[in-house]
Structure 1
Amino acid sequence: MDYSSVKLGDIELMKLMIINDVRRGISTAMNNSIYDRYSDGSDVIASRLLSKKLEIDFTILDNIVETKKKLSPIISQKNLQKLFFSDDPNIYWNVIADGEIKVTEHNNGKYTTGTITFLVPSGHAESVTSNILNATNSGGENGTITPNKTNGSIEIKVNNKGTLPTFPKIKLTNVSENGYFGIVGVKGLIGLGNINEADGVTNPMSEQLYDSASDTSFSDFKDVAPGTPNPQNNWLATNGKLEFQTDGLRLKDQGTVDSRQGVAGGMKVMTLPADSNGHVGAVNFYSY
């Protein structure tokens, strides 16, 4: 079989060697625990996959000594690495080198052959991609999500299109304040939080009440009534006129300054809208 690529992690092995043969086998060995019956035969109590080994036969033609130096640290990693074969691009194997890489030098060292043995502790390959089931594709090939409007529960059926059992990754998002998630599966259940939500406390949230990005001309700000004092400093006059001019509010008319004031100016006011609970005003508020 011809391979255009055999990668270990990010390293392309075919740049260092010629791949002569790969032995992956058809399946992984099974280990069965049985109980002998009093009558004929036995009952299977449990079955499990054993670990698996992959073997790669290779040839090194050029720069044999330098290639060995490059190959050794790549292969001799003490952690699992992903092994990819170009003839089956949708899967990878989590592997670790197993045993010594024995090589044979031929024709007075002009080329070298050898075999690398990889251990696959899980005994099976992994999928490169994962499938997502959500409200948008519910009812399709990945499965269904069915809300129960009576009791508020949601039934999820996932179609596992792989060859082995798998565990789904579930992302949960509350649509309202709730302190509990309950997940029931075929072989068990899990509860997260307080099912009674008995504390009676509503957690405060931060809200944005006004953003000038959607009101670039500051039209929500209105001129104050004549005679309105500046709430921060009554020495500042407020009967001038402010108008938006290309990049912000500018003083168009400075107005008049009476005997109790020293600086001319204008003032606009915006009344903040109510928050999502219908409340006007906030305990903690800031603007910039």
Structure 2
Amino acid sequence: MAFSVKFNDVDLSTIIDGFTAITRNIGAGWTNTVQPNPIIGADFTQNSINSKSITVNFIADVKLDRFTSVRKALASALNVKQPAALIFDDDPNQVWWAVPDGTPTLDESSFYQAVGSITFLVPSGVSESVETNVLNASNSGGLLGTITNNSDGHVDIEINNTGNLEAFPTIEITNVHENGYIAIAGQNGAIEIGNKQEADGVTNALSEYLYNSNSDLSFSKFIDATGTANPQNSGLGTNGTISFQSDGLRFATQGTMSASQFAGGGMKVMTLPADSNGHVGAVNFYSHFNLFAWAGALGQTGILQILFTDSNDKLVAGYGIVKSDMNGNSAKCSFWVGGNTPKEYTSFGFETNNAEKKSKIS
């Protein structure tokens, strides 16, 4: 199996025929800084890691136009504008961020093989781990470190650096409730964000479901409201029944109508629960229902409504589908508001044929 050297996501072993030597040495070398001591020698002040050079030697077998293709392919692979990933087969979990340095060589003087070399410069002088280690609650106390939740609310995090150099962690924080202050303290300093006293007195609104039919597929929380007046139009009877049938609520029985009513039907009602703060009712809310309205024949009529009322069953707002066309297939989606001046706020028309387009061929 061929030894692999990858640079900038290109496997160089697919271009040449083999690597003969790789010179990585030990570390990158150090530069030490000292200052003269007035009595003897010098005093050490600091040191730094140098950049690092890595040289790769390779061979290319003689074939028709072989040297030309190798030159072109290597030149293309090495043409980068900034350090790219250099990974060796014997150390696949380490990446060197490198750029080609100097002039790559390709000696074509032999009748059998060409030999060449490429030198890479690693500006940082060190390699980095390809893998990212994540310390969280599930692996706390293991090799990576420990997370300790304290009774006063603060959290102690001890991270074990398993590498050879200093490392700087990326910390992700998700608040489980409103919090105006976050502080991260370490051995060499601290980062503080927000107001420690949380004195602004502002409570942010939280979006939440008051009712979701995903957890009530048969709409069992809706109960019959037989005989209760329709909050939007008292001319609509409510003595009929609506029942769940396989995939949703459907009209079951028409019921009776009084002399002042013009349509019979049924009605179900559910009292929306309080929100997480214990409040009943909301200034801003969304309502999404899937209303299926499809006339089986021309001239059929009907009405489907979703209405919201106050504690006295007075209309607040609602919407629905109304088909009063007794000859054709026209219907409209209407939106109503209640309060002191109840009215139809707006509406738009459509055909109740499930959006089918029919044509006649003669």
Alignment correspondent of 2:222: 221
Offset at 1:10? 2.1
Alignment pair present for 1:74 and 2:77: yes
Match 1:119 to one of 113, 121, 125: 121
Alignment correspondent of 2:179: 178
Alignment correspondent of 2:137: 135
Alignment pair present for 1:90 and 2:93: yes
Offset at 1:233? 2.5
Give TM-score, length-normalised by structure 1: 0.93
Offset at 1:234? 2.4
Contact 2:237 2:257 (8 Å CA) reproduced: yes
The aligned amino acid for 1:198 is A
Contact 2:95 2:130 (8 Å CA) reproduced: yes
In the TM superposition, structure 1's runs of 4+ consecutive aligned residues that sit over 3 Å from their partners are none
SS at match of 1:34: strand
Alignment correspondent of 1:153: 154
Contact 1:223 1:267 (8 Å CA) reproduced: yes
Alignment correspondent of 2:54: 54
Task: Report the CA distance shift for 1:66/1:3 in structure 2 as closer, same or farther (over 3 A).
Answer: closer
The aligned amino acid for 2:107 is T
Offset at 1:3? 5.5
Alignment correspondent of 2:24: 24
Task: Report the CA distance shift for 1:172/1:267 in structure 2 as closer, same or farther (over 3 A).
Answer: same
Alignment correspondent of 1:259: 259
Contact 2:24 2:55 (8 Å CA) reproduced: yes
State the percentage of identical aligned residues: 47
Q: Which deviates more, 274-283 or 186-195?
A: 186-195
C-alpha distance in 1 between matches for 2:107 and 2:199: 73
Contact 1:35 1:45 (8 Å CA) reproduced: yes
C-alpha distance in 1 between matches for 2:116 and 2:209: 67
C-alpha distance in 1 between matches for 2:41 and 2:236: 101
Mapping 1:246-285, distance limit 5 Å:
246-285=246-285
Alignment correspondent of 1:200: 201
Give the unaligned 5+ runs of structure 1.
Answer: none
Contact 2:226 2:240 (8 Å CA) reproduced: no
The aligned amino acid for 1:88 is D
Contact 1:255 1:264 (8 Å CA) reproduced: yes
Give TM-score, length-normalised by structure 2: 0.75
Alignment pair present for 1:5 and 2:8: no
Alignment correspondent of 1:107: 110
Offset at 1:175? 2.7
C-alpha distance in 2 between matches for 1:107 and 1:225: 100
Q: Which deviates more, 229-238 or 186-195?
A: 229-238
SS at match of 2:108: strand
SS at match of 2:146: strand
Give the unaligned 5+ runs of structure 2.
Answer: 289-362
Offset at 1:153? 1.6
Alignment correspondent of 2:344: none
C-alpha distance in 2 between matches for 1:220 and 1:287: 16
Task: Report the CA distance shift for 1:34/1:268 in structure 2 as closer, same or farther (over 3 A).
Answer: same
C-alpha distance in 1 between matches for 2:130 and 2:260: 77
C-alpha distance in 2 between matches for 1:82 and 1:3: 20
Offset at 1:39? 2.9
Task: Choose between structure 1 and 2 for higher RCO, CA contacts under 8 A separated by at least 6 residues.
Answer: 1
SS at match of 2:214: helix
Q: Which deviates more, 274-283 or 40-49?
A: 40-49
Alignment correspondent of 1:39: 39
Q: Which deviates more, 272-281 or 141-150?
A: 141-150
C-alpha distance in 2 between matches for 1:174 and 1:37: 55
